[in-house]
Amino acid sequence: MAYPDDLLSPSEHVVIHKHPHWKMLLLPVFLLLVVVAACAFLASLVSGQSWGGIAQIAIVVIGVVLVMWLTLTPVIRWRTTHFIVTSDRVMAREGVLKRTGLDIPLSRINSVRFEHSLLDRVLGCGTLIIESASDEPLEFDDIPNVERVHSLLYREVNDNPDDDYRPGAVADGRA
């Protein structure tokens, strides 16, 4: 899902648009399986009882509420969380009912670094840390391909057409 172009300035374009890494969906999917298995087990236990019909309805209702709370909510949160790098700024957006956003102009970014654990390296994600004019660095967790995003963001921050280093430019006469 591309970021809406009508929210960008006329000369601005999206360089990269990411959702958090899919690893944040592992626990909700596991919980979905546990809830479904537990509900099926409990429903089979009460099926032979005289009050089993009402108990099965209660189990299904509780199961649906748990699935919505433990699985559907994190999936929607994942889907509505965006990390966007444009030609002018870095943006982070999240939320459905309560929408929050953060914009950092590229000109205010002092440094960009990333961290990832062994598991993050295996899964191909990590934490992007942006130091700007604010007091403390901003951390964006679970960024997919964090090294590539780091490199792209670094190039965007330091992209100045007046001082671009182009190794073949002098030999080609483009200097």
The three state secondary structure string of 55-117 is HHHHHHHHHHHHHHHHHHHHHHHHHCCEEEEECCEEEEEECCCCCEEEEEEHHHEEEEEEECC
Going residue by residue through the chain (175 aa), what tens digit of pLDDT does each one get?
556 667 788 888 888 999 999 999 999 999 999 999 999 999 999 888 888 789 999 999 999 999 999 999 999 999 999 999 988 889 999 988 899 999 988 888 888 999 999 999 999 999 999 998 777 889 999 999 999 999 989 888 887 554 444 444 444 444 4
Other CB atoms closer than 10 Å to residue 121's CB: what's the count?
A: 12
Q: Which of 20, 149, 5 is nearest to 81 (CA)?
A: 20
143 vs 149: CA distance, rounded Å: 8
- Rounded (5°) CA angle 80-138-82: 15
Looking at residue 3, what is its pLDDT? 61
